[in-house]
Amino acid sequence: MDSTPGSSEYVTLVSGDGFEFIVPRSTACVSGTIRRMLDPSSRFSEAVTGRCVLENMSGLVLEKVCEYLCYNLKNKNQTNVPDMEIPPELCLELLMAADYLDT
Amino acid sequence: MDNEIPLPPPPRIRHRAPNTPTVPSSLHKTYHQLSRFDDRSSQPSSDPALFSSDDIPASGLENYHAPAASGCRKRRYRGTWWGEMVKDSKRKRVDFKDKRLVDSGVWMGSDDSGVDSLLPSEDASIWGEELLHHSTVGRAGEVAPGEIAAGAQQRVVFRKAEESREHQLARAIVNDCLEKGQDSVDLSIGGLQQIPQGLLSPLQHLTKLPTVKEPPISEDVYSSLRPFLRMFLAGNSLSDVPGDLFDLDALRVLSLRNNRLTEIPPAIRKLTMLQEVNLAVNELRFLPWELLWLIKKGDLKHLTVRPNPLWRIDEAEISHWFSLDGAPASSPEEALTLHNYEGPAPEEAWAPIHVATGPVRLFNMEGVMVDAPPTSSTSQSSRVPSLREVSLLAFTRSPFSDLISDADMADCPGLVPSLLRQARAVRNGGGRCCSVCHRSFVIARAEWIEWWDCSVYENGLKGPRSSGEKLRPLPFRRLGCSWACVPDASR
């Protein structure tokens, strides 16, 4: 993506309860909100440190979010996209996470 | 006469002796214990019958208040006489006040304790309201206010559970059809404004009853027990089609004539056995594209859609005109006329004809229309559903999607409440399926109108189009689940 020299290939997503997920930058940038957070021209602290703290998400939700980000990137150019399983008890929290992350 | 068996003397006469005005003071205690008997009368009338043995003194009316002879406690039974059970004699004595509040089940005009009774008459709710008012005024002195509130709350819940008259009637008709094995379900002119969930689903299991015929038995006596299910919902005030309807996969004839429908859910595609559909006299401006699929791939032969305020092709915006062979037409006139043919009608004179396609409207992830797709990012036109879409789909499939109240929804941030409401509407309509890639979805990302001429099917396949006939295309709305699911550029 639009990586400048010095910015690493991986970024860290941190949940509200302290779980850390290290994902490729391109994967994280599927989300519009994270993309804007990590934009080097913004000079946000997230862009400098490569670490996004998502206070409003639990580790359980963020894990599923990361799964979705990978799923989205993997099937980007496919015509037959497989379904992604979502446990019903997570769907509302995921919906709110999606609203926040703009995905 | 002499041979007649003498009747036993009536017990009342036999036992009149113990009824003495002087009561031994030692018996007062037992009197209090036994007086429970007459209190019993205030118990709910629905209780099982209470029997007392007749050979006991003081069972007559005259002895109502008299104490029983010492040591002679009445045996009391609960239940029927053939399955007798001695009642538990160690029941705690209930406070008199508590007992007064017990509903006797009988309501009388002068009785202000009749609040708890609910007659199934039509104006029950009206006088129920009045009685409730009376009772709160009347009882305010003796009952704690909290108790009144609880009582009122209970009443409200009860009334909600009661079905309206129309629904009861409809349920009775459905049950009758199920019982008699009748495959023509006539719910027309029933004044239904909506169809409660679960009313139609038992019809999935409807089976015809075998007919018994007198011999001689010929070949045509045997008939299939599979129902030729017909559903008539004409002349009601339905504003949406119940999703339950689309689970009746044996449905052959469906009439929704003269209702207030503004949209037919795409889930109609699930009714693959449909042969005849009547959608006339509604408020439809377009038809679901899935109906066309039923014509082409299914069994649908008779489609009645006019009159309806359908969009007209001469007023609509058209982006592509097509001639009969699928090539772009040079002018609308060419697309709107069937070519001249000689002799027997060719195949295309029978089939539905694609006349034109309207412009594609695109929606963003929240279901809000966007003017043009952003050209910068190619990822936007991938077929991957958004995370919102994925979670909404899981929501529609989850069992608790009905349990979330509107108040809970309002607490959610941003556009989430409106998305949830949309998801629930889609679920109630039987779900949606992308018309390009067949994936289930909730939020449509693309929408366009295809104009097809189905005049042959509108008149029930009576005859082919005549040579050089002017086509009268109908608008069919197609939905796509992603920005990649749009009409093929070549067609």
Nearest to A76 among B384, B395, B415 (CB): B384
Of B83, B68, B60, which is closest to residue B33 (Cα–Cα)? B68
Q: CATH code at A25?
A: 3.30.710.10
Interface residue B439 vs chain A (CB under 8 A):
yes
**What is the 8-class DSSP label of residue B268?**
G
Minimal-distance CA residue of chain A relative to B398: A88
In a domain, A96, yes or no: yes
- Interface predicted TM-score (ipTM): 0.89
Residue-number span of the structural domain to which A85 is assigned:
10-101
Residue B172 token pair: 């009775």
Q: DSSP letters along B98-115, please?
A: HHHTS--S---TT-TTGG
In a domain, A2, yes or no: no
* Chain A hits for B419, Cβ within 8 Å: 95
Domain ranges within chain B, ordered by starting residue: 7-39+46-103, 165-208+225-304, 320-480
The pLDDT tens digits of the residues spanning B246-281 come to 988 889 999 999 999 999 999 999 999 999 999 999
pLDDT band at B109 (very low <50, low <70, confident <90, very high): low
The residue ranking higher by pLDDT, A36 or B222, is A36
- Helices (H) then strands (E): counts for chain A: 5, 3
| B165-208+225-304 CATH pick, 3.40.50.300, 3.30.420.130, 3.80.10.10, 3.40.50.10860 | 3.80.10.10
* Cross-strand pairs, B475: B451
In a domain, A1, yes or no: no
- Distance between CA B173 and CA B184 in Å, rounded? 11
Nearest to A68 among B365, B387, B413 (CB): B387
- Per the prediction, chain B carries an average pLDDT of 74
- Per the prediction, chain A carries an average pLDDT of 86
| Domain count for chain A | 1
Max CA separation in chain A (angstroms): 42
Report the 10 Å Cβ neighbour count for B104.
17
- Distance between CA B305 and CA B278 in Å, rounded? 6
Q: B residues 391-410 near A, CB within 8 Å?
A: 391-395, 397-400, 404
- Distance between CA B312 and CA B82 in Å, rounded? 77
Contact B391 A76 (CB under 8 A): no
The pLDDT value given to residue A8: 73
In a domain, A35, yes or no: yes
Q: DSSP letters along B140-162, please?
A: TTTS-HHHHHHHHHHHHHHHHHS
pLDDT band at B34 (very low <50, low <70, confident <90, very high): very low
Q: A78, A91, A96: best mutation site toward chain B, by most B Cβ within 10 Å?
A: A91
Residue B212 token pair: 């018994």
- Distance between CA B247 and CA B219 in Å, rounded? 33
CA-based nearest distance A17→chain B, Å: 21
Contact A81 B392 (CB under 8 A): no
Cβ atoms of residues A18 and A62 within 8 Å:
no
| Over residues A40-59, mean pLDDT | 87
In a domain, A90, yes or no: yes
In a domain, A86, yes or no: yes
Any idea which of A64-78, B114-128, B364-378, B405-419 has the lowest mean pLDDT? B114-128
Q: Is the pLDDT of residue B116 over 50?
A: no
Residue corresponding to tokens 């409106």:
B418
- Distance between CA B350 and CA B466 in Å, rounded? 10
Contact B384 A86 (CB under 8 A): no
Nearest to B391 among A72, A77, A98 (CB): A98
- Helices (H) then strands (E): counts for chain B: 13, 17
Interface residue B383 vs chain A (CB under 8 A):
yes
Q: A35, A65, A81, A101: best mutation site toward chain B, by most B Cβ within 10 Å?
A: A81
Q: Is the pLDDT of residue B87 over 80?
A: no
Question: Rounded to an integer, what is the distance from CA B391 to the centroid of its chain?
Answer: 27
Contact A103 B395 (CB under 8 A): no
Which H or E run includes B432? strand B432-433
The pLDDT value given to residue B36: 45
> Percent of chain B at pLDDT above 70?
64
